[in-house]
Amino acid sequence: MSALTQDIEIINKLGLHARAAAKFVSLASTFSSDVDVEKNGQRINGKSIMGVMMLAAAKGSFITLHIKGDDSQSCASALENLINNRFDEDE
């Protein structure tokens, strides 16, 4: 079982708002790996919509993904792509 840590900048205009958080949690939940998200020392379950929204990650902020499990690499890649594609939003 592998574990990895990855820092990612939130680049979409509205940050990790409700719709973006829902997409993040929905995607993270498709993987068996444990997903934690950390921002400014606060670490939450990345498969919890309330937890992700509590981070209040605005545009320009950095989050750290902590992913542990058999599919950690594919999970990290998928979440990174979602964030870098601005959660499929226009801005």
Active site residues: 17
Q: Which distant-in-sequence residues (6+ apart) come within 8 Å of 1 by Cβ?
A: 68, 69, 70, 72
Q: What is the DSSP string of 32-54?
A: SSEEEEEETTEEEETT-HHHHHH
